[in-house]
Amino acid sequence: MSNLEFPVEVSNLTKVYKTRGGGVNAVCDISLCVNVGEFVTIMGSSGSGKSTLLHLIAGLTNPTVGSVKINNQEIYNLTDSERTRFRCRNIGVIFQAFNLIPTLTASENILLPSLIDGKNKVSRDKLDNLLRILEIYDRRRHRPDSLSGGEQQRVAIGRALLIDPAIILADEPTGNLDSVNSANICKLLRDLCDKEKRTIILVTHEKSIADWGDRCITLKDGRIENK
Ligand SMILES: Nc1ncnc2c1ncn2[C@@H]1O[C@H](COP(=O)(O)OP(=O)(O)O)[C@@H](O)[C@H]1O
Ligand SMILES: [Mg+2]
């Protein structure tokens, strides 16, 4: 069950990346609220700011302007280490590029967030169960370079889900999966939302994936096009 009572509130969020050629306005003045137990999807063409928005909500990149409140906590008022701890306890992030550690096995990669936050001891049974649900149990001792793209993606999903996060932020989590595996992952996320009131924000560019959510937000040039 979700241990958070209050929504994810994004207010006037703007992110400008500084580059040699000048500033890139990746996210421009976005405000949105995602309630506890809501499953929101974000669509938009490549470069529209989806990943940047998700990283801002995860507390992974500082906004240029604006705020992100999670369960009434302004996350950018926390120190870096407080914010990391907050994330490890409350948020599971599935990255578009997986971000697996190449020297660790599939199991070790999945266990990583629980190792960072020493308070989150995970039982062997729980890990094995998750490996089975994701159908990577027999790959658990493999390192990322000996896993297929789809298997690496499922390891990244396992790492995000292991600690039962109240909030799941997923960046194109099915981009490397076939249609059967994609539907399995979407069903798993839908169940976590319906049965356990987890809050989910999922980025996708596929309408068939977005349809699993309660509502869809479309980004264009860093701004919300609809609500
Ligand atoms: N680290 C970065 N430095 C500079 N520009 C970036 C960086 N990350 C993303 N961008 C730019 O910000 C915009 C939004 O990118 P991104 O959030 O990755 O979009 P999406 O996930 O929708 O494809 C793009 O123009 C992209 O080139
Ligand atoms: Mg992206």
pTM of the model: 0.93
**What is the CA 63 to chain-centroid distance, rounded?**
18
DSSP H or E stretch at residue 89: helix 80-90
User: Which of 51, 61, 217 to probe ligand 1 with, by most ligand atoms within 8 A of CB?
Assistant: 51
Q: Residue 209: CB within 6 Å of ligand 1?
A: no
How many whole angstroms from 160 Cα to the centroid of ligand 2?
17
Query: Which protein residues have a CB closer than 5 Å to ligand 2 (ion)?
Result: 51
Q: Confirm whether 3 is domain-assigned.
A: no
Q: Confirm whether 32 is domain-assigned.
A: yes
- Beta-bridge mates of residue 100: none
Strands 65-70 and 39-43: unpaired
pLDDT at 115 over 90: no
Confidence of residue 2 (pLDDT cuts 50, 70, 90): low
Q: Confirm whether 202 is domain-assigned.
A: yes
pLDDT tens-digit map of 145-183:
999 999 999 999 999 999 899 999 999 999 888 898 899
Q: Residue 15: CB within 6 Å of ligand 1?
A: no
> What CATH number should be reported for the domain holding residue 71?
3.40.50.300
SS3 of 18, please?
Answer: strand
DSSP H or E stretch at residue 169: strand 167-171
Q: Confirm whether 67 is domain-assigned.
A: yes
Reading phi first (left if > 0) and then psi (alpha if -120 to 50, else beta), residue 37 is in left
pLDDT tens-digit map of 35-75:
999 999 999 999 999 999 999 999 999 999 999 999 999 99
Q: Residue 78: CB within 6 Å of ligand 1?
A: no
Question: Looking at residue 227, what is its pLDDT?
Answer: 56
Q: Confirm whether 71 is domain-assigned.
A: yes
Confidence of residue 120 (pLDDT cuts 50, 70, 90): low
Q: Confirm whether 55 is domain-assigned.
A: yes
Instruction: Show the domain range for 177.
Output: 8-224
Q: Residue 24: CB within 6 Å of ligand 1?
A: yes
Return the ligand number nearest the Cα of 52. 1
Sheet holding 91-94, edge to edge: 91-94, 167-171, 199-203, 39-43, 215-220, 223-224
Q: Confirm whether 53 is domain-assigned.
A: yes
**What is the CA 43 to chain-centroid distance, rounded?**
15
When divided into structural domains, the chain yields a total of 1
Find tokens 């906590």 and name the residue.
73
How many whole angstroms from 47 Cα to the centroid of ligand 2?
7
pLDDT at 80 over 90: yes
Q: Confirm whether 173 is domain-assigned.
A: yes
